[in-house]
Structure 1
Amino acid sequence: MCGRYVMAKATSDLVAAFNADQAVGEDLAPSWNVAPTDNVRIVTERARHRPADDDAGHGGGHEDGGGDTVRRVATAKWGLVPVWAKDAKIGARMINARRETVLEKPAFRKAAVKRRALVPADGYYEWEKSGSAKIPTYLYSPAQDPLAFAGLYEFWPDPSLPEDHEHKWLVSFTIITTEASDALGHIHDRTPLIVPPDLYTDWLDPRLTETAEVQQLLDAMPEPVLTPRVVSSEVNSVRNNGPQLVLPAED
C-alpha cells in the first residue's frame, strides 16, 4: 500500500513539471510526511466545456482559450469519497485502490474511466518487516523527479451544506497500487503505480473513457525502478515533519 509520502515542491515547480495550464485551489506548504486525509496537490485534466459546477468551484468549465482540454494543478483530500457516500469519513478507508480491481470496485470504477489524476510525490515511505521490528524506508527515483502516482479523483456533495456554499463540493482522491516487483517486494508487497512521463497525457486524457482502453493503459505501466533508503524512526509519527525525515538513518 501507500500510506505516507513526501511532497515538498512548490506549486510553480509542479506546474512546470507537468506542463499544467494553471494552478487552482488552496496552495499548500511542503510536507515530508503526507498522511491520509491530508490536503495535497494533484494534477487533473478536464474538457473546457464541462459545466462549472462539475468541478465544484475548483476551476472547471471556464472557457480560457487554447485546446479542448485544460490541465490543472489542484488541491484535493487524500482518501476518495464516492459520490454516493453518506459521510465523508469513508475516505479514510479509500486511500488506495488496487490496480487489479480498480475497474470493478463500485467505489472506484466510475472515476477510473472518467476522473484520472497524477499525484506528484518526491518519494514515499514503507516499513520493511525484520523479525519483530519494522524498518522505515524511503523510496525515490533519481531519474524521475517528481514521481507521478496514478490516481483517481471524485467530487462529493456535502448534504449538510446548502447548494451555494463554497465548501459544498469535496474533491478527494485515491492512489492506485500494484504488486511490487522482486526488487521492492522484500520491503512491501504493494507499491504505488507510477506513471512515466511519456504516459502522462494518455493517463490524464478525459476523452479516454472506454473500460478496455483504461485497462490497456493500466497494463502498459512499467515496473517502477526506485532506490530504497533506510531513514529515521522519526517518520513513524505523523506529527513529525521536515526534510530530516528523508535523510539516511544513523547506524
Structure 2
Amino acid sequence: MCGRFGLLSPSEISERFALVAQLSFDARYNATPTQRMPVVIEDGVRKVEAMRWGYEPRWLKEKPGGKPLINARADKLTSAPTFRDALRDHRVIIPASHYVEWKRDGNRKTPYVFRLKDGGLFGFAGLWFEEGGERRFVVITTDPNDLTSPIHNRMPAMLLREYEDEWLDPDQSEMDRLTSLLGPYPAGEMEAYAVSARINSAGNDSADLLDRVA
C-alpha cells in the first residue's frame, strides 16, 4: 500500500518529465489521500494537471463504510473491471520525491521514508478516473524490492525512466506489455530511514517531518 508521499521540488517537474507547460504547485512533504497533487498525463500533448488522490467507483459507494480506492495492485489490473479500461486508456505518472511506509513491531508502527539515493524526482505509475466532475488518480502498487520487503509487503510501482514514455503513450494498449513495466524498482538505487511519528498526522506537512530519527 502507498498512503503517503511527497514532492519537494514541483518546479522541476517540467524538465524531469519533458513537459510542454508547467503549473505552479507548492512543495508537499506529507501528501495524503483526497488531496490534489500534480499528475503527468499525455492528452494530445504531455502536460501536468492537478488531480485528486482517491477514486470511489459506484459499487464502492453502495458499500457501508467504503473508502475511496487510493491504490491498485499491478497483478489485478487486467482482471478487475474497475481498473482494466483505465489501464488501456487512462494512464498517468505521479511525480514524487519520496514515499512513506510503516514497519509494524507488535502494536508499534514506525514510519520510514523511501527515496532515491540521489534525492531526485521519480514517478509512480498511476491510473485516472472521472468522478464528480473532476479527475482522480490511484497509485499502482507492486511486489516489494529487497529494501522494502522487511518493512512492507507492497511498494508503489516506480517507473524506470526508460519506461515512462511508453507508459504515457496513448497508442500503447497491449495489456501484457503495460503490466510488464510495473516491477519492483531496483533496491540499490534507493534508501530508507525511520522518521518521527509526527508524519502519521495528515495535518502535519513540514520539511522537518523528513528528518532522520535514531
TM-score (norm 1): 0.77
For the pair shown, which has the larger CA radius of gyration, 1 or 2?
A: 1
Check whether the contact 1:136–1:233 (CA below 8 A) recurs between aligned residues: yes
> For this pair of structures, how many residues does the alignment match?
211
Q: Which ranges of structure 2 fall in alignment gaps of 5 or more residues?
A: none
Q: Which residue of 2 aligns with 1:110?
A: 85
CA distance in 1, matches of 2:172, 2:153: 30
Q: Which residue of 2 aligns with 1:5?
A: 5
% same residue: 30
Check whether the contact 1:79–1:91 (CA below 8 A) recurs between aligned residues: no
Cα separation, partners in 2 of 1:74 and 1:92, compared to 1, 3 Å:
farther
Aligned partner (choices 96, 101, 123) of residue 98 of structure 2: 123
Check whether the contact 2:40–2:48 (CA below 8 A) recurs between aligned residues: yes
Provide the secondary structure at the position in 2 that maps to 1:22. Answer: coil
Check whether the contact 2:143–2:184 (CA below 8 A) recurs between aligned residues: no
1:99 aligns with 2:74: yes
Q: Which residue of 2 aligns with 1:186?
A: 150
Check whether the contact 2:145–2:184 (CA below 8 A) recurs between aligned residues: no
CA distance in 2, matches of 1:204, 1:6: 21
**Aligned residue identity for 2:85:** K
1:28 aligns with 2:3: no
Structure 1 range deviating more: 185-194 or 174-183: 174-183
Check whether the contact 1:41–1:73 (CA below 8 A) recurs between aligned residues: yes
1:223 aligns with 2:214: no
1:212 aligns with 2:209: no
- Summarize deviations over 1:110-168 as a string: whole Å, max 9, x none: 11111111111110111111232111111101247212111011123x3xxxxxxxxxx
Q: Which residue of 2 aligns with 1:62?
A: none
Provide the secondary structure at the position in 2 that maps to 1:23. Answer: coil
Check whether the contact 2:144–2:184 (CA below 8 A) recurs between aligned residues: no
Check whether the contact 1:37–1:91 (CA below 8 A) recurs between aligned residues: no
Q: Which ranges of structure 1 fall in alignment gaps of 5 or more residues?
A: 49-69, 159-168
- Mapping 1:1-251, distance limit 5 Å: 1-10=1-10, 12-23=11-22, 27-46=24-43, 48=44, 70-82=45-57, 92-143=67-118, 145-156=120-131, 158=132, 169-218=133-182, 221-225=183-187, 226-249=190-213, 251=214
Give RMSD over aligned pairs.
2.3
